[in-house]
């Protein structure tokens, strides 16, 4: 009985180091950043998105040559 | 808007390094720092392929997970940016990044590492937008000006696409359908997972 208890303790102690802890990012500790549409678009997100969308289509030559 | 992503069309990249030059010039990065580079596989052999590589702004960014000072944050647009004032230049992010994006300038003699520098998707960092301070630390903030990253806008063959994921995926889809081949997206699954679902913005940063 005593031998089996010792065996259990030894096995438990041995495999305890084999576990892997979950790695998650901690909370951001730096400075806050402004929204990209605040400086030049007066906080108008829709206007900023429309500007980017129009710009994105410059990458599509199929729509450019139509 | 879904989220910002890079997409490199390996069928179109001609290894001209225009993206590398555009990035370096736009952000005036110091000697030895190259936020973007072109990788060629099977160089000189039939079927060689070139890909433009920089920070992919991963959904589940490993750099963010390993940073001991928690200097990374994710914006609402899905960009992974960092605060250089928090960075200690330990280099953990370099080892964690599957794309080799983090760069370290030499900060002194004996190979002393400076603060990490990487592609910001031309979105600057946590300083006043379009300020001199922001430019010095993170480069130009084109996104705040309603512009896309210069590497993609300057790409002569439009191999490198940048912008809203839905928009550039549609451009690429149409292109791949028309030519009937080359529909593989290099690095997308690695960076954005199978479904490409956006990770939530990290709390603490304003964005």
Interval B143-171: pLDDT, tens: 999 999 999 999 999 999 999 999 999 99
Residue A27, pLDDT score: 87
pTM assigned to the model: 0.84
Residues of chain B found within 8 Å of residue A36, distances taken between Cβ atoms: 75, 77, 123, 129, 141, 143-144, 207
Which CATH code for domain B4-192?
A: 3.30.70.20
**Neighbour count for residue A19 (Cβ, 10 Å):** 6
Mean pLDDT of B159-186: 91
Q: How far is CA B28 from the centre of its chain?
A: 16
What is the Cα–Cα distance from B197 to A36, expressed in whole angstroms?
Answer: 22
Task: Give the pLDDT band of residue A65 (cuts 50, 70, 90).
Answer: confident
Q: What is the pLDDT of residues A9-63, one digit of tens each?
A: 888 877 877 777 776 667 898 999 999 999 999 999 999 999 999 999 999 988 8
In the predicted model, is pLDDT for residue B60 greater than 70?
yes
Q: What is the pLDDT of residues B67-121, one digit of tens each?
A: 999 999 999 999 999 999 999 999 999 999 999 999 999 888 887 889 999 999 9
Q: How far is CA B113 from the centre of its chain?
A: 21
Asked if A28 has any chain B CB less than 8 Å from its own CB, the reply is yes
> What letters, b where the CB count within 10 A reaches 16 and e where it falls short, cover B56-75?
bbbbebbbbbbbebbbbbbb
In the predicted model, is pLDDT for residue B206 greater than 50?
no
Residue A25, pLDDT score: 63
Mean pLDDT of chain B: 90
Q: Which residue is closest to B156 within chain A, CA to CA?
A: A59
Asked if A65 has any chain B CB less than 8 Å from its own CB, the reply is no
Residue B134, pLDDT score: 96
> Which of 29-48 (A) contact B at CB < 8 A?
29-41, 48
CA angle, B116 as apex, B139 and A30 as ends, to 5°? 80
Mean pLDDT of chain A: 86
**Which residue has 């370290």 as its token pair?**
B104
Considering only residues B96 and A6, tell me which one the structure prediction assigns the higher pLDDT.
B96
Return all residues near B131 (Cβ < 8 A) that are at least 6 apart.
none
CB A36 within 8 A of CB B123: yes
Task: Give the pLDDT band of residue B195 (cuts 50, 70, 90).
Answer: low
What is the Cα–Cα distance from B107 to B121, expressed in whole angstroms?
Answer: 24
Q: Which residue is closest to A46 within chain B, CA to CA?
A: B1
Residues of chain B found within 8 Å of residue A29, distances taken between Cβ atoms: 69-71, 83, 86, 204
Residue A33, pLDDT score: 93
Structure tokens at B6: 């890079």
Beta strands in chain B (DSSP E): 4-8, 37-41, 49-53, 72-74, 80-82, 160-164
Return all residues near B144 (Cβ < 8 A) that are at least 6 apart.
A36, A37, A38, A39, A40, B123, B124, B129, B130
Give this complex's ipTM. 0.85
What is the Cα–Cα distance from A45 to A42, expressed in whole angstroms?
Answer: 9
What is the Cα–Cα distance from B125 to B65, expressed in whole angstroms?
Answer: 19
């Amino acid at each position: 009985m005593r031998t089996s208890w010792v065996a259990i303790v030894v096995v438990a102690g041995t495999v305890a180091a084999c576990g892997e802890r979950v790695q998650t990012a901690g909370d951001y500790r730096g400075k806050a950043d402004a929204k990209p549409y605040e400086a030049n678009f007066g906080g108008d997100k829709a206007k900023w998105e429309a500007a980017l969308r129009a710009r994105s289509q410059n990458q599509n030559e199929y729509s450019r040559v139509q | 808007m879904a989220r910002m992503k890079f997409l490199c069309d390996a069928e179109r990249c001609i290894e001209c390094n225009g993206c590398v030059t555009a990035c370096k010039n736009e952000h005036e990065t110091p000697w030895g720092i190259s936020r973007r580079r072109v990788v060629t596989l099977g160089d000189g052999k039939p079927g060689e392929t070139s890909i433009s590589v920089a920070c992919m702004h991963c959904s589940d960014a490993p750099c963010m997970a390993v940073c001991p000072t928690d200097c990374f944050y994710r914006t609402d647009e899905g960009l992974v940016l960092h605060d250089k004032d928090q960075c200690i230049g330990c280099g953990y992010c370099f080892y964690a990044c599957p794309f080799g994006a983090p760069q370290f300038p030499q900060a002194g003699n004996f190979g002393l590492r400076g603060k990490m520098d990487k592609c910001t998707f031309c979105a600057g960092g946590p300083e006043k937008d379009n300020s001199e301070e922001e430019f010095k630390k993170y480069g130009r903030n084109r996104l705040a000006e309603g512009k896309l990253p210069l590497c993609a806008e300057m790409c002569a063959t439009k191999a490198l696409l940048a912008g809203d994921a839905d928009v550039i995926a549609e451009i690429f889809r149409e292109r791949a359908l028309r030519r009937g081949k080359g529909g593989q997206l290099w690095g997308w699954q690695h960076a954005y997972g199978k479904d490409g679902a956006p990770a939530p913005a990290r709390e603490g940063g304003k964005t």
